[in-house]
Structure 1
Amino acid sequence: MPILQSIVHTIDKAGSDTPATLTPTTEAMSDSPTMSELLAGLNKAFHGKAKTWGRFTEGDDAGDFAPRLSSLMVGDQDFVTFSRELAERVKALVDDHLPLGGHLLIAHERQGDTEYLSLALLHQRQGFGLDDDQNVVTVNQLNLTQPSLAARINLTQWQEDSPSRQYLSFLRDRGGKKLADDFAALLGAQEGVDASSETRTLLKAFSDYVEQEDLSEEQSREKTDAVIDYASDQASRGEPITLDELSELVDEQQPKAFYEHIRQQDYGLSPEIPPDKRALNQFRRFTGRAGGVSISFDSHLLGSSVEYDAEQDRLIIKKVPTGLRDQLKKS
């Protein structure tokens, strides 16, 4: 993961009634193993948080962040100047919304064939260490897990004019809605898809497909594991789930079958879905077959639509599927 360019500007603010001040850095930092580890830790924390996914707004409401970024990418503006101007705008957000300042990290990195721009407003927290005489001392360290502001842009996807609606992602779970809205305005970002809703819809489509295909318990478990492993890996890397790739994993013999199921049933899913870790972690299928009875349901239904009475070893289904109910009425 080579870091092509990186810099840290400091935004100081002593309290809510004190104006923020910017202490800019005049030179970009050189790449180093320590900086690479720091950025890797930040990316890991960022990928695990609730985010808004989207793209740059076009037209009159676009703002000037994307044009400035475009100038940086073609070499018409240098990285230090670009970062300084961005830091000035972030300082205004700190003034309006935050009681304390922080350190604004801006990094341009490459992972494989893909380039990214990451930015995050990091704060310091107190930790403990040992001095040369093995005495315990307090040390300040950057808190990578709780940035007030953070965003990540897939530069390669953006420059390729990809039809994807989610090459840009930013945090929404820190500092309140107004801060998130103003940060989105600073970036000129518009929301593409709801990651949580799309992930849940995808998992429902998969559950429907498994039931439709009447798979064995072992097959169902294998396919579920494949789907969750793939989606979780994409989430950890900050990459979207691609329906074409997922369909091939679900059925190698019929690689388009699951994709066609999604299209025919009109779930309204995008070709690329930003994975939501929380929705993935909640998903698991319970399956079982014995004595001519086959049962399969999603784990999140346990306790609501489905109840298990451990004392009497009974499974109670509160909401009978419509098709099954019609069959029972006719029997």
Structure 2
Amino acid sequence: MSVDMQHLAINYIALTDSGEHQAHYRDGLISSNVAVANLVETLHLAYNGKPAKGYASFNPEKSARVPQALADWQADQTDFLGFAKATTDALVVELSQHQLPETGYVLLAHYRYLASDYLLVCLLGSKDHFELSEQLELATSRHLDIGRMQLAARLDLTEYAVNAAKGNYISFIRGRAGRKVADFFLDFLGCTEGADARVNSQKVLASVEEYLGAAEFDASEKTSARRQVFDYCEERAKSGQDVVLTELSAVVDPEQSNGFLHYCAEQQLDVAEQFPVEVKELKKMVKFNGAGGGLSLSFDEKLLGERIKYDIKTDTLVITGTPPNLRDQLQRFSQGYSAFDQGSE
């Protein structure tokens, strides 16, 4: 892992007694040191680890505050601190207009990773921790709640500079707070949503399955190919990178590295040359899971047809061999727990 920190600015947005948003600005950037570099890397990993992301690009019909502030910074008409202040001001305006009670620390991190420049913008909450000194004196400290990062977006500055027309150089966390919050963050950035990672993932699922059938892979080859495809896509998503169709083709069928690529073109499967994916959706390639009516099941795809049989007509699963801990619970329940207790004496 090698995240090269360039700039880090932190401001704070609070609510006044009258319920209005108010920004508090730090006078300077955060000085670079090992701890700060670790913080930026932690932010990078936390952002990459979020499973549901959307992709967007700037829209001239929306607010120009952030795009203009970005242009001024990149043209050296202002420094990163000025850019951070202008961006924070834009966030305050949108929070007020949308009448949302969100508050917290505004972090703007400019860093390099894998030869690309990124700008991460996030609004983080905080939580208090309790500490005890050697004299058992109690003290509290405030920590950034990075684990609950929800309002965040990342701009691929390198992609934006060389291929802005393609779009989708901005990613954002969809979050669990509902579309209103996601829409508010897009309005704040002045962008509109573009590529849908979930739809792209569904296309990958369908296209790979079509190819495996057309190429007459046997059951074990299909299982291996699905696992390889999932591992490749998961690695790309976790590193914040798009899936590349030529690379994916070589993963699907190593013996004919362009086989899947040519199949997609011949069948007009509408798979882009490069696209973002959603790991949660792709997990269906390698695992079945579901819950409802008091029943929860999850098992690896490779077990279907072997230890697990499914009858589509009767909607029945037959499982041969249960996990040891489940088997122990079932046996104890069936034979009576007291019988096991007596046997162990």
Equivalent AA in structure 2 for residue 191 of structure 1:
E
- In the alignment, the residues of structure 1 paired with residue 148 and residue 311 of structure 2 have an alpha-carbon distance, to the nearest angstrom, of 33
Equivalent AA in structure 2 for residue 222 of structure 1:
S
- Equivalent runs, 1:268-279 vs 2, <5 Å: 268-279=270-281
Identify the residue that residue 87 of structure 1 maps to in structure 2: 88
- Equivalent runs, 1:225-244 vs 2, <5 Å: 225-244=227-246
- In the alignment, the residues of structure 1 paired with residue 12 and residue 30 of structure 2 have an alpha-carbon distance, to the nearest angstrom, of 14
- Equivalent runs, 1:136-215 vs 2, <5 Å: 137-161=139-163, 164-215=166-217
Equivalent AA in structure 2 for residue 242 of structure 1:
V
For residue 288 of structure 1, report the CA deviation from its aligned partner: 8.3
Relative to structure 1, the CA distance from residue 241 to residue 130 in structure 2 (aligned partners, 3 Å threshold; closer, same or farther) is farther
Identify the residue that residue 66 of structure 1 maps to in structure 2: 67
1:263-299: per-residue Cα shift (whole Å, max 9, x none)? 222232322221112112232274589xxxxx79xx9
Q: TM-score if structure 1 supplies the norm length?
A: 0.81
> Of 40, 43, 57, which residue of structure 2 is paired with 1:55?
57
Residues 168 and 194 of structure 2 are in contact (CA less than 8 Å); yes or no, is this contact kept in structure 1? yes
Relative to structure 1, the CA distance from residue 303 to residue 149 in structure 2 (aligned partners, 3 Å threshold; closer, same or farther) is farther
- In the alignment, the residues of structure 2 paired with residue 305 and residue 53 of structure 1 have an alpha-carbon distance, to the nearest angstrom, of 41
Identify the residue that residue 22 of structure 1 maps to in structure 2: 23
- In the alignment, the residues of structure 1 paired with residue 254 and residue 7 of structure 2 have an alpha-carbon distance, to the nearest angstrom, of 41
> Of 7, 12, 15, which residue of structure 1 is paired with 2:14?
12
For residue 238 of structure 1, report the CA deviation from its aligned partner: 1.4
Residues 21 and 91 of structure 1 are in contact (CA less than 8 Å); yes or no, is this contact kept in structure 2? yes
User: What RMSD, in angstroms, separates the aligned Cα atoms of the two structures?
Assistant: 2.9
For residue 200 of structure 1, report the CA deviation from its aligned partner: 1.4
- In the alignment, the residues of structure 1 paired with residue 177 and residue 311 of structure 2 have an alpha-carbon distance, to the nearest angstrom, of 34
Equivalent AA in structure 2 for residue 91 of structure 1:
V
State the secondary structure of the residue aligned to 1:105.
strand
Residues 121 and 152 of structure 2 are in contact (CA less than 8 Å); yes or no, is this contact kept in structure 1? yes
State the secondary structure of the residue aligned to 1:150.
strand
Identify the residue that residue 264 of structure 1 maps to in structure 2: 266
For residue 163 of structure 1, report the CA deviation from its aligned partner: 5.4
Equivalent AA in structure 1 for residue 119 of structure 2:
L
Relative to structure 1, the CA distance from residue 253 to residue 69 in structure 2 (aligned partners, 3 Å threshold; closer, same or farther) is same
Identify the residue that residue 310 of structure 1 maps to in structure 2: 318
State the secondary structure of the residue aligned to 1:81.
helix
Structure 2 unaligned blocks of 5 or more = 288-300, 322-345
Identify the residue that residue 217 of structure 1 maps to in structure 2: 219
Equivalent AA in structure 2 for residue 276 of structure 1:
E
1:9-28: per-residue Cα shift (whole Å, max 9, x none)? 0111267x511211101211
Count of residue pairs brought into register by the alignment = 302
Relative to structure 1, the CA distance from residue 204 to residue 135 in structure 2 (aligned partners, 3 Å threshold; closer, same or farther) is farther
- In the alignment, the residues of structure 1 paired with residue 88 and residue 94 of structure 2 have an alpha-carbon distance, to the nearest angstrom, of 10
Q: TM-score if structure 2 supplies the norm length?
A: 0.78
- In the alignment, the residues of structure 1 paired with residue 200 and residue 6 of structure 2 have an alpha-carbon distance, to the nearest angstrom, of 33
For residue 2 of structure 1, report the CA deviation from its aligned partner: 1.3
After the TM superposition, which of the residue ranges 259-268 and 153-162 deviates more from structure 2? 259-268
For residue 125 of structure 1, report the CA deviation from its aligned partner: 1.3
